[in-house]
């Protein structure tokens, strides 16, 4: 096949996927491969690492088209480093039109670091300053550095992870690579080279590449379109570097060895002996027959899949390295199979991208609204160090009405919580000592008492209900789980374990699985469904839309195809005759699993042996629908899946009356969805669409008015005449709607103008931009679901929630837009549900109402008191322990100098629940900030003590350097040690740290924690 290249420069090549990498084997010493966009370049890079493992492969990315980033020298240095390595070592360079046209920097200055060298901390800092690095509180992106005592963190642009350098005096004692997200070390290194960030910019990579070896250009027409879009947006964003209009064309003209692989037929083209592989979509027996035919014809068959090898194919060439697609090379007699052909599932690409530090999510910002449980609403005024009776101590400054300030010791940080209720210009803090707060608190406590009693009655009914205890997992479940083509996250595995444990219990399951869109809730449901069906029970899977039902049906049928289970679809897309057949199958037990919409709630549904109900996207169903299937669920296990549960359901889960599993870990390394809110602007929208087209993606343009949706589609088409545009809404003919949605899913439509019918739609991996032209009537849950339509893989996604530029927003609408904008990170579903609960209230938990009133006391305090009341009625412990600490408590500024970081650590310490949590946090602090001072150890000890005191029912704990006193609760039973004396309901023992440790020994029934607590 390689001989075909001689004398030919244009090829008819209508293929995507791994075959592109395959034809690059055995080329010249330096080859440049240009793909139309970043998605395809990433696919090629992953495929080349598998098929061309003997080659050196380099990836030259675009500079992200974001204002402030396009001129960032760190990005340019990173690109220069790649080009330099490729020029020196040869191999394959993979890029895009944007990658070719973007500038880069060739750094000359290099600083080598090695363990044991006397590099000098101050000399390193001086070098970083003079080399263009910027000092930061936390290092999380290339070009930054931070200093904490004898520790220097830095992020060299040529490295995939930042470096932590630990000094002992001037000597480098240790160096570790660390995660930008959790800031903890991952591995040690002996030596490291740091490149300077210079200012010698080369305008583009094109001139460097055109002179060095062959260039393969795939899909030239799409590449030209994307080059034009990239240049246009770049020039709008960059304040320093302009890309000339002719740069891309000049590059193509100046490249002597340019080979064009065109997706459309043209003149003077050559064809290659390549073709696509048939798609089996889980039909293992059919695939086995075809593999036998290939072998009989002399073809070598190789499987490159993330799924385990089916037992029928033992002894074949299988490697757990997923290709983006398979292909057949007739000349080489080779067949490659991937997950796409075998199971109809496209594996996620695993790329290395950093996120923002998790510490950011727990910071109080200046002027944030807080609730103090004794004094009410206030605002945060920062940290302040004060010399007091027991030494110097750090306090949180709380600002109340009339400019009164309250200094809250950091050891009492649990007494405050963020207030996320209704806040506007008229909101004022409470007045210290006034009755306003105490009155609000009494009203809330009366409501809490009534609600707790009702919840306990409901809980009691659940406890006595009898269900079916499903069988433990067997070989069939193991085989089914092996067919999952992705790597489960920790949270996902925990949710699966929770569900299985519930199902194997005789008590009916009622579990809510909360996870951001695309975080693997469907896989949790699949395993529950499989468990029930293989035990001889029938399963109903209830989803809100016909399109989502169709997608679930394809997924379930594909995964369960190799097993003796019958999966059916019941929706309005199914003919009446077929519906009747499915209903008969449900009644006689021949149908195992039915996936359907509201059709499953009609009265003609009769099920022979119902064992499990799955409810997906719960908030789309009204209470009336839920009252209907409540009759079905008597004694039946129920599993509810939701990215943003309705407030009523979620508040019930928070109160412990319903089991809840939370999936917060994102699959792979997905970045946050960049969320923009504001007034409609033609220029902004045009650039958003052009950006997505430039990287080969797809766009949802949401226009929620059927009457004018064609007009909006025309607006898009007039501005992007070369782009494939279609529209979809719920009033279209059923077949037409289904065909349109499936065409978008298959990538045959670039921009889909649609209504909210796509809110619970298909999983379209290339759809990474959402534009909503009028967000005023959307609820917070709706906005979150719509945003979940994009960013389903690991590409940066954009969501624009806009409103007409000539309207004034009501305050409630502005609140919703603010919440969706702030909670734009992946895994925000759980947090967003709490935001929705703040805005709309917890609701009437047991009746028909979905939304309730805002509580004056704030959400966190309200539910903490509700938890305490429920515990009291159950006969358990009765609330928080009153901690009276008469010793100085603070994190020394010499240890953590940045006040915002100290506050984050104070809050982390306050969240310690057990000894393991204490030790984990202590190890993290030592890794990030150095040896632990005694003051920090004391804070860690006290946080653990407070938690254990609360769990053991201790009413009061007073600690000074000289002594410790505790007041026992009525049901608190402890064994005294020789160091303690008892007086009525009080115990008195030693003070200081020895007192803390001995009290922990008593309360945890340990012989001694002295060796456990560092």
CA distance 739 to 755: 16
Q: Which domain holds residue 979?
A: 882-1004
Q: Which two tokens stand for residue 254?
A: 């100046």
Q: Are 34 and 218 in contact (CB under 8 A)?
A: yes
End-to-end CA distance of the chain: 67
Q: Which two tokens stand for residue 755?
A: 């209504």
Sign of CA dihedral 169, 172, 178, 181: positive
- Residue 948's domain is classified under what CATH number? 3.90.1150.50
Q: Residue 784: which of 756, 744, 754, 747 has the closest Cα?
A: 756
- Residue 30's domain is classified under what CATH number? 3.40.50.11180
Q: Which of 797, 824, 851 is the last residue of a domain?
A: 824
**Are 728 and 650 part of one and the same domain?**
no
In a domain, 377, yes or no: no
Position 646 scores a pLDDT of 44
Query: Mean per-residue pLDDT for 819-823?
Result: 59
CA distance 448 to 455: 10
Position 168 scores a pLDDT of 92
Helix/strand/coil for 134: strand
**Are 637 and 511 part of one and the same domain?**
yes
Beta strands in 179-324 (DSSP E): 185-188, 191-195, 201-202, 214-218, 258-262, 270-271, 274-275, 300-304, 317-319
Q: Are 494 and 511 in contact (CB under 8 A)?
A: no
Q: Model confidence over 851-886: pLDDT tens digits?
A: 333 356 666 676 667 767 776 776 665 567 888 888
Longest dimension (CA), the chain: 101
**Are 284 and 321 part of one and the same domain?**
yes
**Are 69 and 168 part of one and the same domain?**
no
875 backbone φψ class: left, alpha, beta (φ>0; ψ -120 to 50): left
In 396-538, alpha helices (H): 435-464, 475-482, 490-503, 521-534
Q: Are 817 and 809 in contact (CB under 8 A)?
A: yes
Q: Model confidence over 199-225: pLDDT tens digits?
A: 788 888 887 887 778 899 999 988 888
State the pLDDT confidence band at 688, using cuts at 50, 70 and 90. confident
- The percentage of residues in the chain with a pLDDT greater than 90, rounded to a whole number, is 33
Q: Which of 612, 642, 663 is the last residue of a domain?
A: 663
Q: Model confidence over 961-998: pLDDT tens digits?
A: 899 998 888 777 777 777 888 877 788 999 888 888 88
Helix/strand/coil for 188: strand
Position 791 scores a pLDDT of 77
CA distance 183 to 177: 10
**Are 85 and 211 part of one and the same domain?**
yes
Q: Model confidence over 531-563: pLDDT tens digits?
A: 999 999 999 999 887 778 888 898 898 889 889
In 332-375, alpha helices (H): 339-343
**Are 594 and 680 part of one and the same domain?**
no
pLDDT surpassing 60 at residue 93: yes
Q: Residue 740: which of 725, 722, 720, 726 has the closest Cα?
A: 726
**DSSP label of 717:** H
In a domain, 449, yes or no: no
**Are 889 and 910 part of one and the same domain?**
yes
In a domain, 474, yes or no: yes
Strand order in the sheet with 416-418: 405-409, 391-399, 376-388, 369-372, 416-418
Q: Are 511 and 499 in contact (CB under 8 A)?
A: yes
In a domain, 267, yes or no: yes
Q: Which residue has the higher pLDDT, 372 or 761?
A: 372
Q: What is the 3-state secondary structure (H, E, C) of 106-133?
A: CCCCEEEEECCCCCCHHHHHHHHHHCCC
Position 118 scores a pLDDT of 92
Position 424 scores a pLDDT of 62
Q: Model confidence over 733-775: pLDDT tens digits?
A: 877 887 888 788 778 999 999 988 775 556 787 899 999 999 8
Lowest mean pLDDT among 27-41, 325-339, 575-589, 693-707: 27-41
CA distance 849 to 851: 6
Q: Residue 517: which of 642, 676, 653, 640 has the closest Cα?
A: 642
**Are 593 and 689 part of one and the same domain?**
no
Q: What is the mean pLDDT of the chain?
A: 82
Q: Which of 615, 638, 663 is the last residue of a domain?
A: 663
**Are 912 and 772 part of one and the same domain?**
no
CA distance 729 to 756: 8
Placement of tokens 């004018």 in the chain: 708
Position 854 scores a pLDDT of 39
Helix/strand/coil for 54: coil
**Are 592 and 541 part of one and the same domain?**
yes
Neighbouring residues of 863: CB distance < 8 A, sequence distance ≥ 6: 651, 654, 655
pLDDT surpassing 80 at residue 164: yes
Position 1012 scores a pLDDT of 42
In a domain, 368, yes or no: no
- Residue 157's domain is classified under what CATH number? 3.30.2060.10
Q: How many domains does the chain have?
A: 6
Neighbouring residues of 500: CB distance < 8 A, sequence distance ≥ 6: 473, 527, 528, 531
Residue 505, CA atoms < 13 Å, CB-side half-sphere: 17
Sign of CA dihedral 903, 906, 911, 917: positive
Q: Which two tokens stand for residue 955?
A: 């009413």
Position 130 scores a pLDDT of 92
In a domain, 399, yes or no: no
Position 567 scores a pLDDT of 95
Q: What angle do CA 26, 32, 33 make, to 5 degrees?
A: 90
**DSSP label of 484:** -
Q: Are 92 and 58 in contact (CB under 8 A)?
A: yes
pLDDT surpassing 70 at residue 1: no
Q: Model confidence over 584-620: pLDDT tens digits?
A: 999 999 999 999 988 888 878 889 999 999 988 765 6
- Residue 768's domain is classified under what CATH number? 3.40.50.300
Q: Model confidence over 920-969: pLDDT tens digits?
A: 999 999 999 999 999 999 999 999 998 888 888 888 999 998 999 988 88
In a domain, 233, yes or no: yes
**Are 336 and 470 part of one and the same domain?**
no
Lowest mean pLDDT among 50-59, 178-187, 391-400, 812-821: 812-821
State the pLDDT confidence band at 6, using cuts at 50, 70 and 90. very low
Position 407 scores a pLDDT of 93
pLDDT surpassing 70 at residue 325: yes
| Polymer length of the chain | 1014
Strand partners, 154: 145, 163
In a domain, 3, yes or no: no
**Are 278 and 209 part of one and the same domain?**
no
């Amino acid at each position: 096949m390689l001989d075909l290249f001689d004398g030919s420069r244009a090829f008819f090549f209508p293929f995507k996927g791994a075959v592109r990498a395959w034809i690059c084997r055995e080329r010249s010493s330096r080859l440049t491969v240009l793909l139309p966009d970043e998605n395809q370049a990433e696919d090629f890079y992953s495929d080349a690492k598998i098929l061309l493992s003997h080659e050196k492969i380099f990836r030259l990315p675009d500079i992200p088209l974001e204002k402030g980033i396009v001129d960032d020298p760190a990005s340019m240095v990173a690109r220069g480093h790649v080009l330099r390595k490729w020029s020196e070592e040869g191999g394959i360079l993979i890029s895009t039109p944007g990658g070719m046209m973007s500038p880069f920097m060739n750094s000359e200055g290099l600083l080598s670091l090695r363990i044991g060298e006397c590099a000098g901390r101050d000399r390193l800092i001086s070098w970083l300053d003079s080399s263009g690095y910027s000092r930061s509180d936390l290092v999380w992106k290339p070009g930054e550095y931070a200093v904490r005592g004898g520790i220097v963190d830095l992020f060299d642009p040529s490295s995939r992870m930042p470096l932590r350098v630990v000094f002992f005096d001037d000597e480098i004692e240790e160096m570790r690579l660390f995660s930008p997200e959790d800031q903890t070390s991952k591995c040690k290194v002996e030596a490291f080279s740091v490149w300077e960030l210079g200012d010698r910019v080369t305008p583009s990579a094109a001139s460097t590449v055109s002179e060095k070896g062959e260039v393969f250009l795939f899909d030239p027409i799409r590449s030209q379109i994307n080059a034009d879009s990239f240049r246009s947006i770049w020039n709008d964003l960059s304040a320093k570097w302009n890309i000339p209009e002719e740069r891309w064309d000049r590059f193509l003209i100046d490249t002597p060895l340019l080979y064009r692989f065109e997706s459309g037929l043209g003149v003077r083209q050559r064809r290659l002996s390549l073709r696509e592989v048939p798609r089996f979509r889980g039909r293992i027996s059919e695939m086995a027959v075809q593999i036998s035919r290939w072998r009989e014809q002399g073809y070598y068959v190789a499987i490159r899949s993330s799924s385990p090898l089916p037992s029928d194919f033992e002894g074949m060439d299988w490697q757990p390295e997923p290709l983006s697609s398979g292909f057949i090379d007739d000349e080489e007699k080779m067949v490659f199979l991937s997950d796409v052909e075998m199971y109809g599932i496209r594996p996620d690409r695993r790329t290395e991208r950093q996120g923002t530090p998790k510490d950011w999510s727990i910071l109080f910002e200046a002027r944030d609204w807080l609730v103090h449980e004794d004094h009410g609403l206030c605002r945060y005024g920062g940290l302040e160090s004060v010399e007091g009776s027991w030494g110097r101590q750090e306090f949180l400054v709380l600002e109340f009405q009339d400019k009164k300030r309250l200094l809250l010791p950091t050891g009492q940080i649990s007494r405050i919580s963020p207030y996320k209720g209704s806040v506007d210009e008229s909101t004022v803090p409470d007045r210290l000592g006034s009755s306003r707060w105490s009155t609000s608190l009494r009203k809330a406590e009366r409501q809490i008492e009534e609600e707790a009693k009702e919840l306990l009655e409901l809980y009691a009914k659940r406890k006595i209900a009898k269900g079916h205890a499903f069988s433990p997992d067997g070989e069939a479940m193991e085989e089914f789980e092996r067919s999952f083509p992705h790597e489960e996250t920790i949270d996902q595995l925990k949710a699966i374990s929770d569900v299985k444990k519930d199902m194997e219990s005789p008590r009916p399951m009622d579990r809510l699985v909360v996870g951001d869109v695309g975080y693997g809730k469907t896989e949790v449901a699949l395993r529950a469904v499989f468990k029930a069906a293989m035990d001889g029970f029938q399963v109903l899977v209830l989803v809100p839309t016909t399109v989502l039902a169709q997608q679930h049906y394809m997924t379930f049928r594909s995964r369960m195809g190799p097993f003796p289970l019958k999966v059916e679809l019941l929706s309005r897309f199914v003919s009446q005759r077929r519906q009747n057949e499915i209903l008969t199958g449900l009644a006689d037990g021949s149908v195992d699993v039915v996936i359907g919409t509201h059709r499953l709630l009609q009265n003609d549904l009769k099920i022979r042996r119902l064992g499990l109900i799955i409810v997906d996207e719960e908030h789309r169903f009204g209470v009336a629908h839920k009252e209907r299937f409540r009759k079905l669920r008597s004694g039946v296990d129920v599993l509810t899946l939701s990215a943003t549960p309705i407030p009523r359901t979620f508040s019930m889960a928070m109160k412990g009356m319903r089991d809840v599993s939370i999936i917060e870990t994102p699959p792979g390394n997905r970045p946050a969805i960049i969320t923009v809110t504001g007034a409609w602007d033609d220029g902004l929208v045009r650039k958003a669409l052009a950006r997505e087209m430039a990287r080969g993606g797809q766009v949802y343009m949401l226009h929620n008015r059927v009457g004018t949706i064609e007009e909006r589609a025309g607006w898009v088409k007039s501005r992007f005449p070369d782009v494939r545009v279609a529209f979809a809404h719920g009033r279209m003919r059923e077949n037409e709607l289904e065909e349109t949605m499936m065409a978008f899913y298959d990538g045959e439509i670039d921009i889909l103008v649609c209504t909210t019918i796509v809110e619970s739609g298909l999983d379209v991996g290339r759809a990474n931009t959402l534009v909503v032209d009028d967000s005023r009537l959307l609820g917070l849950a709706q906005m979150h679901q719509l945003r979940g339509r994009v960013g389903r893989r690991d590409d940066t996604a954009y969501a624009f929630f806009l409103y007409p530029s000539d309207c004034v927003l009501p305050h409630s609408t502005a609140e919703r837009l603010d919440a969706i904008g702030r909670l734009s990170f992946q895994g925000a579903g759980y947090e967003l549900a709490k935001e929705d609960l703040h805005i709309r209230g917890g609701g009437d938990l047991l009746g028909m109402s979905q939304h309730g009133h805002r509580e004056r006391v704030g959400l966190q305090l309200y539910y903490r008191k509700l938890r305490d009341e429920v515990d009291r009625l159950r006969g358990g412990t009765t609330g928080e322990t009153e901690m009276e600490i008469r010793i100085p408590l603070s994190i020394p500024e010499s240890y953590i100098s940045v006040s915002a970081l100290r506050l984050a650590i104070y809050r982390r310490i306050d969240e310690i629940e057990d000894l393991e949590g204490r030790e984990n946090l202590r190890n993290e602090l030592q890794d990030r900030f150095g040896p632990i001072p005694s003051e920090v150890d004391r804070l860690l000890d006290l946080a653990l003590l407070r938690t254990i005191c609360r769990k053991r029912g201790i009413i009061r704990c007073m600690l000074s350097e000289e002594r410790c006193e505790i007041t026992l609760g009525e049901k608190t039973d402890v064994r005294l040690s020789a160091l303690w004396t008892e007086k009525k309901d009080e115990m008195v023992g030693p003070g200081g740290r020895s007192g803390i440790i001995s009290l922990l020994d008593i309360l945890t029934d340990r012989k001694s924690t002295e060796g456990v607590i560092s």
